[in-house]
Amino acid sequence: MSLEAALLESRTLRDGLSERVDALDKVKILVLLPDGVHATTRMVADYFEVPLEAVKSLVKDHRSELEGNGYRVLAGHELRAFKALSGIDPRTPWLGVFPRRAVLNVAMLLRDSPVARQVRSYLLDAEETTRPTTRAEARPEPEVFRAVPRRRRQDLHRDEYEALRDDPAGQAWRRRIDGLEPFEPVRGSAPATGGSPGTEERLSRIESRLDAHGAVIMAMGDRLCRYGDDLRAVRGDVLAIRRDVAELRRGRRS
């Protein structure tokens, strides 16, 4: 039995593909009611290029399955509200409506519609493409070397963050940024022995510079936080002024 024949006969298989409503627009544009969600029986028949009676007969034979995918018959107060929303003829006594899932369900049931066959073909091709490979088909992925990423400052543990915040160098830089002390560049100390410094000493200097840079960034962050508090206070004052102006305008009008 072909996959298409199995789709026509198996409700379980159809249920497994009921979410692939994108297949409808891949084959042909589906015209919907002004609510953008539903189509009438006539619209469904026009989409699949079949007589209206063919869709009505399909609904009669598979009503429970279609209702499981959203098909409904509107009447009474619900129909009146839907008419006002969708511009349906006020004289209509009842109305069957299909959401996109129900329209796709019709596509998996109509046998003699070329459009429905194209929708089924697209569904089966897409399902075959996305089907997971078996163990025999799966190929081992090549091992790729991945460098360990450097931790960002927001990834530091709290104890590391607090240690950096309370560091004397960080406090000194905060005082400089706040204008409490003169700003002077940090100068490295001269090597203890003559000649160029050794590798360990150079690494030590680099590490101390990185720590100083981190302290500067922390101090700048604290200053920006204070600016944020000041900005929120200014916004509150502006909002209060706007309220006062609005009340004055209302008083003048009255």
Helices (H), 108-167: 114-130, 158-165
Enumerate the domain spans of the chain.
3-130, 155-184+199-253
CB under 8 Å, gap of 24 or more: what pairs does 175-183 form?
176/219, 177/216, 177/219, 177/220, 177/223, 178/223
10-residue block means of pLDDT along the chain (254 residues)?
83 90 91 89 95 95 94 89 77 90 95 93 82 53 51 49 63 69 55 55 72 71 72 79 81 72
Residue 190 pLDDT: 47
What is the reported pLDDT for 43? 94
Radius of gyration of the chain (CA): 36
> What is the DSSP secondary structure assignment for residue 155, as one 8-state letter?
G
With a threshold of 0.75, does the pTM exceed it? no
End-to-end Cα separation, the chain, in angstroms: 83
> What pLDDT, on the 0 to 100 scale, is given for residue 171?
72
Q: What is the structure's pLDDT at 128?
A: 76
